[in-house]
Amino acid sequence: MRATRFYNATLVTGTGVFRNAAFVVANGRFTEITGAAGAIGADDIDRDDRANKDSLAYCDLGGQIVVPGFIDTHIHGVKGCDFEDPDCDFAAGARLLRMTGTTSFFATISPFTPFGARKPPYRTLTCEGLEGFHLEGPYLNPAKQGGFYKGQIRPYDEAEADDIIRSFRGAIRIVTAAPECVDLPSLAALSHKHGFALSVGHTDADYDTALEAFGAGFSRATHLFNAMRTFDHREPGVLDAALLDDRVHCELIADLRHLSPQALKLALRLKPIGTLTAITDSVCPDAPGITVRGSVAYKGDTVYGSQSTMYELFRHLTGPLLAVPLADAVRLTSVNAGKALDLDVGDIVPGMRANFIVMDSDYRIETVYTASDFGTN
């Protein structure tokens, strides 16, 4: 397949917004990026056509906005596809996500019992867009169980944890655990052994325990504010520690329902922009026991997850209530997640996989591209 040069773009990357920019995609990857000073024009196209008519195609974007494809690091499912069920059609779920700009995702698996009955089908599961799995539990604090029932939460067992992680053959990329409920050196050793990130979540940890966890190797906080000890001006806890420690990368359910605009603004003001990632925490609305009211999913009377898309979060971030600058909204919805998890996707730079979205000036999605559209993934 011929390489394609996209030109006359308003390009948004991890380093800013570039107007009249151009970029080349070859073999599914970005190979060349030029800003305004070096952007290609009509005269250049005529010259290049004569020299490269058989090897290079051109696409005039007419000034439209180009952003990296969204990355959702915390999603339990979409309509018709419950990621808790290894027999669901993950590829169909990925296609639905792509329609709203999410080109990469981490299927989030909640604690399940028995583990052994459900491990094998996940071992070889692959589809475009699935970057890995996020294991949320089972070593959580029952006091902060959220939508989980107590039978899903188990005491920490190193041998069991090692068996679970090994069964996924490297596909587990994030594990959420309550630091006060695990043996920190043991779980940190498993993280180093198997190469996954540790995230504090569903936790009632106090401030000192949270700092101990961050020092031991926990680098993330799962859905900040939600399912964790709340702020107390006399008894600081894990929330305070995550907000004040710049080493910690924090997830934010930016749907304006799980978190108020004020809570989001607080995190955006306190944390460096590169340490925050927007997530949906979306669940399959067809999953057993789930009811949907508005954009929120409930299990009984308990908030269980969202029904938002990453695109909707992007619109919330750039909308009037939050007024996040465009470049920062792109960092929150793609760039930061890719960097934090060492992915070869999430930004528009040479060498990265070519997952990107073309939008009009009102941020309406026009086209979503992935690396496979250009011959390879």
* pLDDT, tens digit (0-9, with 9 covering 90-100), for 123-134: 667 799 999 999
What does the DSSP 8-state code read for residue 198? E
Collapsing DSSP to helix, strand or coil, 81 comes out as strand
Strands 102-109 and 70-75: parallel
> What mean pLDDT, rounded, does the chain reach?
91
Amino acid identity of 61?
L
Indicate which residues carry an active-site annotation: 281
Which residue from 288, 230, 285 is spatially nearest to 263, judged by alpha carbons? Answer: 230
If asked whether residues 328 and 247 sit together in one domain, one would say yes
If asked whether residues 237 and 326 sit together in one domain, one would say yes
Check residue 300 and give its pLDDT. Answer: 81
114 pLDDT band, cuts 50/70/90, is very low
233 in a known ligand binding site = no
Of the candidate ranges 6-20, 107-121, 198-212, 254-268, the one whose mean pLDDT is the lowest: 107-121
- The structure's pTM equals 0.93
If asked whether residues 313 and 362 sit together in one domain, one would say no
The tokens of 173 are what? Answer: 């990329």
pLDDT of 50 higher than 50: no
Give 224-234 pLDDT, tens digit per residue. 999 999 999 99
Check residue 28 and give its pLDDT. Answer: 96
308 pLDDT band, cuts 50/70/90, is very high
If asked whether residues 13 and 118 sit together in one domain, one would say no
Give 171-203 pLDDT, tens digit per residue. 999 999 999 999 999 999 999 999 999 999 999
Collapsing DSSP to helix, strand or coil, 153 comes out as coil
If asked whether residues 134 and 174 sit together in one domain, one would say yes
Query: Is the N-terminal amide bond of 138 cis, ω within 30° of 0?
Result: yes
223 in a known ligand binding site = yes
59 pLDDT band, cuts 50/70/90, is very high
> What is the residue range of 364's domain?
3-67+347-374
113 pLDDT band, cuts 50/70/90, is very low
Find the CATH number of the domain harbouring 136.
Answer: 3.20.20.140
Give 292-306 pLDDT, tens digit per residue. 988 888 888 888 889
Structural contact between residues 95 and 298, judged by C-beta atoms closer than 8 angstroms: no
If asked whether residues 121 and 109 sit together in one domain, one would say yes
pLDDT of 40 higher than 80: no
pLDDT of 336 higher than 70: yes
If asked whether residues 116 and 127 sit together in one domain, one would say yes
Task: Work out the angle at residue 211's Cα, subtended by the Cα atoms of residues 210 and 212, and round it to the nearest 5 degrees.
Answer: 90
Check residue 1 and give its pLDDT. Answer: 72
If asked whether residues 12 and 113 sit together in one domain, one would say no
If asked whether residues 245 and 365 sit together in one domain, one would say no
Distances (CA, A) of 371 to 6, 43, 99, 311: 14, 28, 15, 19
Q: Look at the chain and report how many structural domains it folds into.
A: 2
* Total length of the chain: 377
Find the CATH number of the domain harbouring 7.
Answer: 2.30.40.10
